[in-house]
Amino acid sequence: MSTLPHHPNWVNGAYQLTTEERIPIINPATEAIIATIDSTSSEMVSSVIESSLQNFSSGVWSKADASARFAVLSKAADLLRARLPEFINLETHQTGRPIREMEAQLQRIPEWLEYFASLARTQEGRVTPFKGPVINTLTRLPLGVVVQITPWNHPLLIATKKIGAALAAGNSVIVKPSESAPLSVLDMGKLFQDAGLPDGTLQILSGYGRETGKFLCESPLISKIDLTGGLGTYASIAPTASKNLIPITAELGGKAPVCFFPSIPVEKGVRAALFASFIASGQTCVTGSRLLIHAEIYNQFVELLVQRTAALRVGDPTDDRTQIGAVISRASVERCTAFVSQAMREGGKVLCGGKPISVGGKGFFFEPTLIETNMASNLACNEVFGPVIAIIKCESEEEIIKVANATSFALGASVWTNDFNQAHRVADKIDAGIVWINGHHLNDPSSPWGGFKESGMGKENGIEAYESYTKVKSTVINYGQDPTWFDDEVQNARYG
């Protein structure tokens, strides 16, 4: 392992080896170890939090002019755009996602830095309609040292979303990327330094979530936690955060329904279903993991969908022809297998796929899988995070809405219909933070991203994300109203 490239932590403006304990990073498509990272100790976490607090208190970034923040984030966007081929290659190897997907996704990531740069430059305070000859100004200030826990499925995209918003608002940031795919995020440290970000403003620490992530979230010195992960992770950090009065933004997963109505052409609907369900091998929080198909088109729709799913090209993620890459780990393969087995025990019918496979005898791959089931099944209610999709036949618009809302998750959903009135009627009744009409996986830096119920709280993207990294200070200025004094009798009274 000593001959492998090692990606150390980014601390105070330099890559620093902070521990002798190393974590291997595995390419899920080949099972080969491609690099190692640090397993950061609690002592090192404490040291980095303290230095980040010093950085924030110094004002070098927290009190920098808005124009300076704009310049740094804009420069970072330019540098990232110039280095995209390097990052695309890195993301493909550490996640096992097809390179064609990574090229499409990463091309857009600089837009998030440009968007938040613009917010930093244009954000304005306001004056409230205070009664009397009084002016009340509201000013947004950065929170302090913020901790961001980022996932492995979209390593660079989700980290950039969070980092951009937090830096634009003037915070000092500590990022803990997933130990499964941290390499691209670690490489962002030098990029931001080259863009002019003061050293110590962005720290990037690797390690296991149950250790390094836990140490970060338990510190009373931090001012916010921004987590993308599972409900279990949130449950483990929330009690301590609550005790320390630390706010949490949490994106915790989903079980997105994709709703197909008779007015949508079957060919178009099937193409939409494939895109919604199998991007990233089903490993996204808004994977179209429940296909709710109206009975009028069900048989024709499912017949064509099964044909197209069986024809998807599973293979080497670095091959431009590959449509379905690997899942992240052996544990993910086992989870997919378990969902298929339980679905069959519950009476589900496997229409396509359903088994682990390998490419060249190696890799963590699972066949794109379609299972006909019912709304109460485990597969229809719980997140797989893999290419195992529930198909549910619905007799009416009302039943589609009922099934769409029948899980504890409420992040994303999509509605496919050419009936304008129906589109808006159904979208209005679906309980989800994001509802697409005739689209899926659509994303933009300006569009708030976050769900309801067990899908989490708070938002990524948009003004909402920026403002969540600020606190509001109210300054009240009396310019013409005499102070109200106690009268002499009261003023001279004695209280025992």
Question: What residues are annotated to the active site?
Answer: 251
User: 406-425: string of b/e by CB count within 10 Å (b at 16+)?
Assistant: bbebbbbbbbbbeeeebbee
CA distance 94 to 328: 9
CA distance 41 to 44: 5
Residues 161, 281, 406: CA angle, nearest 5 degrees: 80
CA distance 286 to 276: 8
Type of residue found at 149: I
Let me know if 1 is exposed, middle or buried by CB neighbors in 10 A (0-12, 13-18, 19+): exposed
Residues in the chain: 496
CA 394 to chain centre: 31
Q: Are 168 and 141 in contact (CB under 8 A)?
A: no
**Beta-strand runs (E) in 152-211:** 172-176, 202-204
Tell me the longest C-alpha to C-alpha distance in the chain.
94
Q: Which residues contact 83 (CB under 8 A, 6 or more apart)?
A: 191
* DSSP state letters, 339-354: HHHHHHHTT-EEEE--
438 half-sphere exposure, CB direction, 13 A CA radius: 11
CA distance 47 to 319: 43
Q: Are 360 and 262 in contact (CB under 8 A)?
A: no
